Chains A and B, each alone.
Chain A
Amino acid sequence: MINNQSIAEEIVRKFGDDVFDFEEPFGMLTFSTTREQIIPMLDCLNKHSEYKISFLTDITGVHYPDNSGQEFCVVYHVHSFIHNFRARIKVFLAEADLHIPTASELYASANWMERETFDFFGIIFDGHPNLKRILNMDEMDYYPMRKQYPLEDATREDKIDALFGR
């Protein structure tokens, strides 16, 4: 039976204490794991004889500046075509040690997804073949999606606050 409950039980059986925080927001199984176990986890779900969760839908990052020790979260969405089952796996990382192994050996689509996450948040994916900026300019020296940086370009002259009465 492929449903949230049975897969959650199987994952707890295999990985024990390394998976935690099981939730089901809007029906999608969501759980967290550690960065050492994320690649074995993706591999296990991929190669499992019954589940066949073999499609990586998305990798993205989230910045929680208020959670000290767990500021960044890398979110993986996976999908099984055959059973129409989706899951979300989260890995929390601290700002001081922002490394996580790459999934690009397992899934070729992870290549650019990880580059985008690096470009926006500065999360380093160890083992990535070509980890450099993808959407922003190469010379940019900060990671724009982090919450402390503003949206607007501070050096623009024609849309300054004084002109808009701010």
Chain B
Amino acid sequence: MATDIKIVESPEGYEGSGFFATSFDKVVGLARSHSLWPLPFATSCCGIEFMSTMASRYDLARFGSERPSFSPRQADMLLVAGTIAKKMGPVLKQVYLQMAEPRWVIAIGACASSGGIFDTYSVLQGIDRVIPVDVYVPGCPPRPEQILEGIMQLRELTHNESLRRRNGDEYQALLASYHIQ
């Protein structure tokens, strides 16, 4: 029988026989951070590195992202990998709007973060021109280890996020700055 299985640390709380009392924030944060379902929005070369991250060598599923869902309604995090052209910007915004809260966005690659090497008339200089971004993963393309590090950072964010954040003023102001209701 395996005795060295790593189990997630339980949050601080009061326990007794048959009960464990802790704060809602911590439990929900624990559950969310260990089961982030990605929505791969792969447009170009970074998409192939993302495929490598999902394949067997740099398995992404062991971190809880077992089901890359292509439906925005059922996904937690939007992984934008690759160049976003100006023609694609509205499509990206629509996909982001269709995601249900809580939602996070990771910009994978230099092109998604800031336009990359394509400082041209047809490329959006970073997806944070149209949607709010949580984590930026630089690289051209970033190695799968870097993409995993980006997802680890997001897990930190998700683990520690307060339940009231999405209804608070700061978040609403952020969305308003992108003209998102």
Contact = CB atoms under 8 A, between A and B. Distances in A.
Direct contact of A and B (CB under 8 A): yes
Contact of A158 (B86, B87, B120, B126): B126
Contact of B125 (A144, A151, A159): A159
Contacts of B65: none
Contacts of A166: none
A151 B120 contact: yes
Interface in A148-166: 149-153, 156, 158-159
A137 B87 contact: yes
Contacts of A153: 120-122, 125
A116 to B, nearest CB: 13
A137 B126 contact: no
Interface string B21-43: 00000000000000000000000
- Grouping DSSP codes into helix (H, G, I), strand (E, B) and loop, the A interface class, with mixed when no group exceeds half, is loop
- Grouping DSSP codes into helix (H, G, I), strand (E, B) and loop, the B interface class, with mixed when no group exceeds half, is loop
Interface residues of B, number: 10
Interface size bracket, A side: 10 to 19
B120 A152 contact: yes
A158 B121 contact: no
A151 B114 contact: no
A158 to B, nearest CB: 6
A31 B61 CA distance: 59
B119 interface: yes
Given A137-B87, A158-B114, A152 B121 contact: yes
A150 to B, nearest CB: 8
A156 B87 contact: no
Interface in B109-140: 114-115, 119-122, 125-126
Given A137-B87, A158-B114, A144 B126 contact: no
A137 B119 CA distance: 17
Contacts of B86: 137
B119 A151 contact: yes
A152 B122 contact: no
A3 interface: no
Given A137-B86, A137-B87, A159 B119 contact: yes
Contacts of B120: 151-153
A137 B88 CA distance: 10
A151 B126 contact: no
A115 B164 CA distance: 52
A136 interface: yes
B122 A136 contact: yes
A144 B87 CA distance: 15
Nearest to B123: A153
Q: Top 6 closest A-B pairs, CB basis?
A: A153-B121, A137-B87, A156-B125, A152-B119, A151-B120, A159-B119
13 contacts: A135-B122, A136-B87, A136-B122, A137-B122, A150-B121, A151-B121, A153-B120, A153-B122, A153-B125, A156-B125, A158-B114, A158-B125, A159-B119
Given A136-B87, A136-B122, 20 more contacts: A135-B122, A137-B87, A137-B122, A144-B121, A144-B122, A149-B121, A151-B120, A151-B121, A152-B119, A152-B121, A153-B120, A153-B122, A153-B125, A156-B119, A156-B125, A158-B114, A158-B125, A158-B126, A159-B115, A159-B119
